[in-house]
Structures are given as C-alpha cells and as structure tokens.
Amino acid sequence: MTKFCFLKDMGPVQHRALSRKRLAVMGGALMFLAGCNALPNSGPTESQINHAQQNPKKNAVGYGIVQISLDLITLLDSEGPPSFSSLDADNVPVAPGKNDTVGPGDILQVSIYEVGSSLFSASSATMLASSASGTNTLPSSASSSTLPPVVVDGSGNILVPFAGQIHVTGMTAHQVADAILARLKQKSQSPQVLVRIASDIANSVMVYGGVRMPSRIPLTPNREHILDVIALAGGVDHTTQADEDYMIRLVRNGHIAEMPLKVIENEPAQNIAMQPGDRVQVIYHPRTFSVFGASGKITQTRFSMPTLTMAEAVARVGGPVESRADPNGIYVFRYENADVLRRLGLPVDEKASVAPVVYQLDMMNPSNYFLAQKFMMRDKDLIYIANASSNRFYKFFGLITTVISTAE
C-alpha cells in the first residue's frame, strides 16, 4: 500500500524515468532469454543423453542405452562371476580322508624293520665281511633302518634300495609301505615297512596376497576349508579394515571365482573344502561407486557391505534434488561383459571382452522402485542423475528476479 501511494504521488517525469528503467531491465531480460542456453548446467538432460548416443561423433566409445527391467536383472544375475560352490560342484571333490595321498614333489620318510639277516642295517655289512674272512658272525635278532629322504619324482616314482623303482602317485602312505614290503619279502627275513609323508607338496594349497604369512598350506584328512587355510596363513593383513573390503580369488583346475570375504563368512555353502593344487589369493580392494548430476552430493562412495543395490546407492548420496533433477533419467554407466551385451542385441566388437553400456531407470514409475532394489551395483559403477529440462528456466527466472529486485 505504501508503494502504491508513492507511485501515485510521483510526477510525470518520475513515472517516465521509472518506465524507462523497467523497459531497460525487460529488454535485458529478453536478451538473457535469447541466450538461456549459455547458462551453466551440472550435466546433460535425458534428451541430450539420448541424442548423444545416436550421434556417432559424440558417441565415440559406442555405448548403448538399455532400460532396466526384470528380464535385464535376471540376465545380469545369471551372468555373474562363478561362486565358490559352483567350482565345488563342477569338479569331482576329493573323497573324505584322501588328502594323504602321495604325489610328485613329496618327500617320504621310509623306515624298514628286519629280523635276522638285515639288508639295510650296519650288522648286515659286518656279516658279509665276516663271511668273506671265513668267520661266522650272527646278527642281532632284529634291526631297524631309516632311509635317507625319498623324493617322489615328476613321474610319480620312487627308488628304494633292493626294491627298485615303484610308482606311488595316488597311493596313501600305508599303500606305499605295502608296495615296498612286497618287493622286500623275497630278499629279507620278515621285513616291516613304515612310510610317512615328511613334506606334503601334492596335497597342499597356496595362500598369498593380503595375508600375514603367505605360504603353502598342507592339507590333512580333516579336509580344511577356505576360511581354515586363510587362518593358517595368519589371516588378513589389515585387521582394522572391514571384511567387505577383501576379495577372495580361488583358482581351481583353470577356473577362477571371486567373492567378498564377508559373503564366505556369512554363507557356509561358499566356504568350500580345499582341493590339492588350489590357489587362494586374498585381495584388499575397497569397492567404490561415483555419483554425478542433480544429486544431493557429488561424490565417490565406498560400498562398505558385501552387496549394494541401486536404490541403496542413490539413497546414500541424498537422492535426486527435487528442484533440478529429472527422475525419468537415472543412469548407471558401466563397462559390462561383452557376452551380456551381445545377448541384449547391442553391437559389440567380436574381440572385445567388455564394452560400455548405460542402464536407465525411470523412477517416475512406482514399480521401478522395486527394480532399483534388485539391480546390483558393481565396483567402479557411475550413477548419473539427469538434470530436468526446466532447470535452465528456473536458473534464468532466478537471475531475472535478482536483476529486477536490484533495479527497483
């Protein structure tokens, strides 16, 4: 009301001056409106992303855009890396109690006990010498001899004096003793043989990487599991870090599987029994995802849990900003397995193992919130929340309001 009275009391000259000032401001506003596209923005809109994907000059990496659907989630879950339990199922497991078999590289301790005339003891040499000199020296009633360490060669054979070469791969220590005994029965009086595996190379696994004591862990008939051999290697080397930050890589018979340590701890089916020749690598690898665009916070964030869904990832950064985000355009940029993209019908180089792809979710559809809870994030994923097409208008409108307020 005060302002109205003031204007009413103004003279003609003052009215004309104020009108000219307002016209100047409005003229400037029209010039700003013509150059609205020059206003800064935090990223492309949904339509700009779609147009750029179709423009070969802008889409130099050749990415495709795929809508997130239940069928897509099912496909991605089926194409996930093999679990440890799948490796256990694809390979014939070692029978319980068979981790004591002999193989190439093992070192055996062989002890031979004899009665009367002995082939291996010192008394045998004394008896042979006395026979040559015409005397007759009787040996002691019983004797024992421990042979020097016997190494199983690359062909799986051992060489025992008076018994010759014996193939022992796949035998237990008791079976090796029986095989040696069968060769000595015709040459020694009531021999008895004991065999012990002094150094078990064939029945062992290698544990290395982020553990305190990387080493070769021999397996026993008790059948150690993957968590057992990691503990025998001293456990993880960064005890202050969460188990979610450790990945366990298992190599078995040419197959590779990776899994977070926390998942193995929480799922007994993944804590599989070790097999001879397994290689276990413990990797300290904090997984992260990045968020750009019209979000509450642009940041790189760690997973800090074994699995993370798209809904959880978006919520961690505050979600889309209501005043400038376009909920129709929530994207996940990822380098995906090339076989998956071929199954989706996208053109992918025949020699490529991975290729870029953009997954889009329309969060204006309420049912898609359920999909966001099923879509799993991966390490180094990038979430982009598109700007609303009206974002520049609101920026322009705010700018004009400021100019007019200053002019008055």
Summarised one tens digit per residue, pLDDT across range 200-231 is 888 999 999 999 999 999 998 888 999 999 99
- C-alpha to C-alpha distance for 23 and 35, rounded to whole angstroms: 18
Averaged pLDDT for residues 305-312: 89
pLDDT in tens, 263-291: 899 889 899 999 999 999 999 888 899 99
How many Å is the Cα radius of gyration of the chain?
39
Let me know the angle formed at the C-alpha of 370 by 369 and 376, rounded to the nearest 5 degrees: 95
Let me know the angle formed at the C-alpha of 259 by 94 and 227, rounded to the nearest 5 degrees: 50
Nearest to 110 by CA among 145, 143, 142: 145
Please give the span between the terminal C-alpha atoms of the chain, in angstroms, as a whole number: 16
**pLDDT at position 286:** 86
- C-alpha to C-alpha distance for 311 and 87, rounded to whole angstroms: 31
- C-alpha to C-alpha distance for 232 and 156, rounded to whole angstroms: 28
pLDDT in tens, 374-388: 999 999 999 999 988
**pLDDT at position 134:** 47
- C-alpha to C-alpha distance for 289 and 337, rounded to whole angstroms: 18
Nearest to 229 by CA among 99, 82, 98, 90: 99
- C-alpha to C-alpha distance for 314 and 97, rounded to whole angstroms: 50
- C-alpha to C-alpha distance for 30 and 51, rounded to whole angstroms: 28
**Residue 166: both structure tokens together:** 């014996």
Task: Give per-residue burial for 82-100: e unless 16+ CB within 10 Å, then b.
Answer: ebbbebbeeeeebeeeebb
- C-alpha to C-alpha distance for 315 and 310, rounded to whole angstroms: 9
- Asked if 399 and 368 touch (Cβ cutoff 8 Å), the reply is no
- Asked if 294 and 278 touch (Cβ cutoff 8 Å), the reply is no
Averaged pLDDT for residues 247-259: 90
**pLDDT at position 304:** 80
**pLDDT at position 120:** 73
Pairing status of strand 279-284 against strand 255-260: unpaired
Res 124 pLDDT > 60: no
Res 8 pLDDT > 80: no
Is the model more confident about 101 or about 2? 101
- Asked if 381 and 392 touch (Cβ cutoff 8 Å), the reply is no
What is the pTM for the complete model shown?
0.62
Res 122 pLDDT > 70: no
Res 36 pLDDT > 90: no
